[in-house]
Amino acid sequence: MKILYFAWLRERLNRSEDEFDVPNSVSNVDELIDWIGENDEAAKMAFENKKLIRAAVDEKIVEHDYSIAGAKTIAFFPPMTGG
Amino acid sequence: MKILYFAWLRERLNRSEDEFDVPNSVSNVDELIDWIGENDEAAKMAFENKKLIRAAVDEKIVEHDYSIAGAKTIAFFPPMTGG
Amino acid sequence: MQSEVFNPGDETNRFIEQADGAGAAVTFTGLVRSSADNPTKRMTLEHYPALAQSQLENMASEATKRFKLLKVTIIHRFGMMHPNEPIVQVMALSPHRQAAFDGANFIMDWLKTDAPFWKYEETPDGAKWVEAKAIDDKAKDKWKA
Amino acid sequence: MQSEVFNPGDETNRFIEQADGAGAAVTFTGLVRSSADNPTKRMTLEHYPALAQSQLENMASEATKRFKLLKVTIIHRFGMMHPNEPIVQVMALSPHRQAAFDGANFIMDWLKTDAPFWKYEETPDGAKWVEAKAIDDKAKDKWKA
Residue D1 lies in a domain: no
Residues 44 through 103 of chain C touching chain B, CB cutoff 8 Å: 45-48, 50-52, 54-55, 76, 87-88
Interface test with A, best of D43, D48, D89 (most A CBs within 10 A): D48
Dump pLDDT digits (tens) for D16-58.
Answer: 998 777 899 999 999 998 888 888 899 999 999 999 999 999 9
What is the pLDDT at residue C139? 85
Q: Report how far apart, in Å, the C-alpha atoms of C140 and of each of C99, C113, C136, D37 are.
A: 17, 8, 7, 36
Would residue D2 count as lying in a domain? no
- Pick the more confident residue, A42 or C138: A42
> Between A and D, how many CB-CB pairs are < 8 A?
71
In the beta sheet, which residues pair with residue B73? B2
Which has the closest alpha carbon to D67: D11, D28, D12, D26? D26
Output the pLDDT for position A74: 98
Q: What is the ipTM of this complex?
A: 0.91
The chains in contact with chain B, meaning 3 or more Cβ pairs closer than 8 Å, are: C
Cα separation, B47 vs B69, in Å, equals 21
**Structure confidence at residue D145 as a pLDDT band (50, 70, 90):** low
pLDDT tens sequence across B33-46: 999 999 899 999 99
The reply to whether C78 falls in a domain is: yes
Number of domains in chain C: 1
Contacts of C115 in chain D (CB under 8 A): none
Angle between helix D49-66 and helix D97-114 axes, rounded to 10 deg: 150
Domains assigned to chain B? 2-77 (3.10.20.30)
Q: Is residue C136 part of a domain?
A: yes
Which residue, among D103, D83, D76, D106, has the nearest Cα to D92 in the 3D structure?
A: D103
Q: Please name every residue paired with C128 in a beta bridge, in sequence order, or none if there are none.
A: C121
- Chain C CB contacts of D39 below 8 Å: none
Helices and strands, counts by H and E, chain D:
4, 7
Mean pLDDT of B56-82: 96
Of C48, C112, C131, the CB nearest to B6: C48
Tell me how far apart the alpha carbons of residues C70 and C95 are, in angstroms, rounded to a whole number: 8
Say whether pLDDT at B69 is over 90.
yes
CATH number of the structural domain spanning residue C26: 3.90.1170.40
Neighbours of chain A (3+ CB pairs under 8 A): D
Kindly state the helix (H) or strand (E) to which residue D100 belongs, with its residue range: helix D97-114
Gap from C12 CA to chain B (nearest CA, Å): 17
Q: Which domain holds residue D25?
A: 8-141
Q: How far is C125 from chain B (nearest CA, A)?
A: 18
- Helix (H) or strand (E) segment spanning residue D15: helix D8-16
Residue pair D94/C30 in contact (Cβ under 8 Å)? The answer is no
Those residues of chain C that have pLDDT short of 50 are none
